[in-house]
Structure 1
Amino acid sequence: MSLTDTTNSTRANSAGVDWAKDDYAVCVIDADGEPLERATLKYTKTGLRRLIDLLDRHHVDAIGIERPDGPIVDALLTAEQAVYVIPPSQVKALRRRYGSAGNKNDRFDAYVLADTVRTDRRRLTPLMLDSEPTTALRKLCRARKDLVAHRIAVANQLRAHLATTLPAAVDLFDAIDSPISRQFLTRFTTQDALDRLTPARLAAWLKSARYCGRTDPAVLHQRITAAPRGATGDYARTLATITRAYLAALATITAQIDALNQQITENLDLHPDRDILTSLPRSGTVRAARLLAEIGDARGRFPTPASLACLAGVAPSTRQSGKVTIVAFRWAIDKQLRDAVCDFAGDSRHANPWAADLYRQARAKGHDHPHAVRILARAWLGIIRKCWTTNTPYDPALHGALQRLLNQDQQAVA
């Protein structure tokens, strides 16, 4: 074997894997970017075994892929391969490095992924998976979020239906999908049933339904009589079938949300990072679980506070050309993480004077509410990451900026 052959045989090779519906394309290239082998494999045990054998045969030490999860990623990490996730939006832009058309092609994208790993590995961060408890908690929180969206959609459909069928029930209680509202609609499904109500009968029914609201039954009855009349007779009884269908859907979704809430609570209580996130102001159970699940527990993923803030989309994107500098909204982010962080930050200002002061300062500078919340979220992420990396719960007494603000308020009062 010549010296050149020896050198080439020891130089690292890279690979790219592009997902498709029924199979996936694999491309292995050498250190010079020349393709060594291409293959299309199925989503089967045999296909995964062939993938690992192919990578071992060519001494591949790094793989580019578009998704951070799934059986392929699990198989690659089990085989101790270095996996680099390159999002589809970046792959779309990278195609133009190799041709002006930039057309989508699975085999070509596999090559683009492999070559990007070869040329830009120093800019990429290897995939680090969270622990199974964190991954399970993330799936629970995201499933709950999806079901809440479904509940809101069905509630809006019910409201639109009642607006023409039974207008008096639309704004009778605070929320159309609240337990008392659903009980009321189950019992009084038509205008004919509402016409038989008197203040005394309504008060007796509310007592039997264990209504805990503060609105007087007489006021509720007045709302019913003041509202436009709904459908009556056989037509109303037919439309009541639709009402019951929406109510059944709401009951099912609500029951499953409650079941997920219980499971989230149990999983959070057993998680080693529980005390860190639940110590934050107004974090609660579900909100703390979402923060923990979306940030994860792979500490090495975020070497700096800026890396976490950028992924969460709460750090602006700065563009500069010549004398022109533009600070714009950051789009290439983890939307689930941003939603969790901003949800927490937006509510924290009601319980934490430091957070409230930062929010007020941002609004005073002319920023709208979402922008001010992102500014506050970025500040909170610095604190959360510090607590996260040191395994220390948040302690207001050790929060220097908060204590300085409290001391200033006390001096001003004095």
Structure 2
Amino acid sequence: MKSARNTLPEEPVNDVTAGIDWARDDHAVSVVNARGREIDRCTVEHSAAGLRDLVTMLGRNGVGEVAIERPDGPVVDALLRAGVTVVVISPNQVKNLRGRYGAAGNKDDRFDAFVLADTLRTDRARLAPLTPDDPATVALRRACRARKDLVAHRVAVANQLRAHLRNAFPGAVGLFADIDSPISLAFLTRFDTQDRADWLSPKRLAAWLASVGYSGKKDPAVLHAHLRAAPRGATGTHAEAEAHITHALVAVLTTLAEQIKTLSGQIADQLTAHADQHIFTSLPRSGRVRAARLLGEIGDCRARFPTPESLACLAGAAPSTRKSGQLRTVNFRWACDKQLRDAVTDFAADTRHDNAWAADLYQQARARGHDHPHAVRILARAWLFVIWHCWQDRAAYDPTQHKALQRILNPTNRQAG
């Protein structure tokens, strides 16, 4: 199936277009007429009053379409509420378009606003209006990105704690599977120095592990032997000083773990209430958080991706091909939505452990000499074609209807056919 793509009318409203160069503190605005001449310009503050002035200025000039470099934020929200059509032109495109108007190509906010406005006037056939996602999808996307950032912080602090313990208390490193696991953090809270760990015997360690509900498979005697075999850490006054750092890092990790768990629960609730949740939760190895990430990054606006190729390109799963004369090169696609690519490749990489078709595609790519990241991108591109059809049809993924999977699962039927 093909999805219809939103298009701009052949002529702009009132024969005028506007461009906004978005910045943190203020925004440059330019309005051009049908002949490409700038008829008005201003700079508005990034404040409630400034955004009202922006809408007033656009209305005074009869502007119905605005080009801007980013698809979200208070400026875009204010424009959409005012009934203005928003067209997104990426910063990379604007950088290349500056050459149309001069050889220098220098960055200037007011000039970039004019470039945006004039490009919206001249390149209408290649541009599409922004169709925002449902607020529920936007909220889910932001929650997933916030959780991803918290997980990255947790990994960084865990690495910092591990590096600190290698000098202050080496026996605690590798004692449990993960340095930031609940049992590891509980151990470091109670036994934060070499002196306190020296008090432990196999029997005492077993009693303490039982008191905190340790359910690991390692015998207390093995854990105690690890403590004894490790290099000795700091003792005495020096150890007490090092313990302050240990407690600070443990407190940060504890807080991060709690907030990640809380946010994961909220994401699961938001996903359950979403109209498209059945599509993404039906995918193999999707889980709740991974399904929520895919849904949030792809969105719910079907017109944004009229073909599966357009989705694969934005996700960076399709290579970039360049041709010049007899030279043809196929390169990694740098210009893409990094968040979407991370969500899709994370999903695709794990599906090869559960889906025979995914495993076969991955192994074929590795057999051709591709490294793991390249093979995962090849698999991600294949999955995006499947996801796109499910998404456009609003249908859950059904393995029995996945013909390529069934040919692998039933080779006898394939040979008979």
Note if 1:213 corresponds to 2:216: yes
Distance 1:387 1:411, change over 3 A: closer
Give the corresponding residue for 2:353: 350
Alignment of structure 1 residues 388-407 onto 2, 5 Å:
388-407=391-410
Give the corresponding residue for 2:319: 316
Q: 1:165 corresponds to which letter in structure 2? A: A
Note if 1:232 corresponds to 2:235: yes
1:343-394 deviation line (CA, Å, top 9, x unaligned): 0000011010000000000101111100100010011011111111111000
What is the count of residue pairs matched by the alignment?
A: 405
Q: 1:379 corresponds to which letter in structure 2? A: A
Where 1:192 maps in the other structure, the secondary structure is helix
From 14, 17, 22, the equivalent of 1:14 is: 17
* Preserved contact between residue 407 and residue 414 of structure 2 (Cα < 8 Å): no
Q: Residue 79 of structure 1: CA displacement?
A: 2.2
Give the corresponding residue for 2:171: 168
Give the corresponding residue for 1:249: 252
Alignment of structure 1 residues 34-53 onto 2, 5 Å:
34-53=37-56
Q: Residue 194 of structure 1: CA displacement?
A: 1.4
Give the corresponding residue for 1:3: none
* Preserved contact between residue 48 and residue 72 of structure 1 (Cα < 8 Å): yes
Where 2:410 maps in the other structure, the secondary structure is helix
Alpha-carbon distance in 2 for matches of 1:361, 1:125: 38
Give the corresponding residue for 1:107: 110
* Preserved contact between residue 97 and residue 115 of structure 2 (Cα < 8 Å): yes
Where 2:130 maps in the other structure, the secondary structure is coil
Give the corresponding residue for 2:68: 65
* Preserved contact between residue 278 and residue 396 of structure 2 (Cα < 8 Å): yes
Note if 1:117 corresponds to 2:120: yes
Q: Residue 36 of structure 1: CA displacement?
A: 0.7
* Preserved contact between residue 12 and residue 61 of structure 1 (Cα < 8 Å): no
Where 1:60 maps in the other structure, the secondary structure is coil
Alpha-carbon distance in 2 for matches of 1:319, 1:162: 50
Between 22-31 and 50-59, the greater mean CA deviation after superposition? 50-59
Q: Residue 80 of structure 1: CA displacement?
A: 2.2
Using CA pairs under 8 Å that are at least 6 residues apart, name the structure with larger relative contact order, 1 or 2: 2
Distance 1:411 1:327, change over 3 A: closer
Where 1:264 maps in the other structure, the secondary structure is helix
Q: 2:144 corresponds to which letter in structure 1? A: C
Give the corresponding residue for 1:279: 282
1:204-243 deviation line (CA, Å, top 9, x unaligned): 1111111111111111111111110000111101110110
Distance 1:187 1:42, change over 3 A: same
Alpha-carbon distance in 1 for matches of 2:333, 2:12: 43
Q: Residue 301 of structure 1: CA displacement?
A: 0.4
Q: 2:118 corresponds to which letter in structure 1? A: D
Give the corresponding residue for 1:270: 273
Alpha-carbon distance in 2 for matches of 1:169, 1:46: 56
Q: Residue 122 of structure 1: CA displacement?
A: 1.2
Alpha-carbon distance in 2 for matches of 1:410, 1:237: 70
1:59-106 deviation line (CA, Å, top 9, x unaligned): 323211011111211121122222111122221222122112211111
Q: Residue 9 of structure 1: CA displacement?
A: 11
From 164, 178, 183, the equivalent of 1:180 is: 183
Give the corresponding residue for 1:305: 308
Q: Residue 55 of structure 1: CA displacement?
A: 2.1
From 279, 297, 317, the equivalent of 1:294 is: 297
Note if 1:370 corresponds to 2:376: no
Alpha-carbon distance in 2 for matches of 1:93, 1:9: 23
From 190, 194, 198, the equivalent of 2:197 is: 194
* Preserved contact between residue 20 and residue 29 of structure 2 (Cα < 8 Å): yes
* Preserved contact between residue 14 and residue 63 of structure 2 (Cα < 8 Å): no
Q: 1:274 corresponds to which letter in structure 2? A: Q
Q: 1:403 corresponds to which letter in structure 2? A: Q
Distance 1:188 1:410, change over 3 A: farther
Between 177-186 and 205-214, the greater mean CA deviation after superposition? 205-214
Distance 1:252 1:313, change over 3 A: same
In structure 1, the gaps of 5 or more residues are 1-7
Q: 1:156 corresponds to which letter in structure 2? A: N
Q: Residue 50 of structure 1: CA displacement?
A: 2.6
Alpha-carbon distance in 1 for matches of 2:97, 2:175: 56
Alpha-carbon distance in 2 for matches of 1:86, 1:374: 26
Q: Residue 410 of structure 1: CA displacement?
A: 8.1
Alpha-carbon distance in 2 for matches of 1:40, 1:138: 31
Alpha-carbon distance in 1 for matches of 2:407, 2:12: 62
Between 89-98 and 218-227, the greater mean CA deviation after superposition? 89-98
Give the corresponding residue for 1:5: none
Between 48-57 and 262-271, the greater mean CA deviation after superposition? 48-57
Alpha-carbon distance in 2 for matches of 1:346, 1:82: 38
Q: 2:105 corresponds to which letter in structure 1? A: G
Where 2:150 maps in the other structure, the secondary structure is helix
* Preserved contact between residue 31 and residue 39 of structure 2 (Cα < 8 Å): yes
Q: Residue 58 of structure 1: CA displacement?
A: 2.5
Q: Residue 43 of structure 1: CA displacement?
A: 2.3
Q: Residue 143 of structure 1: CA displacement?
A: 0.5
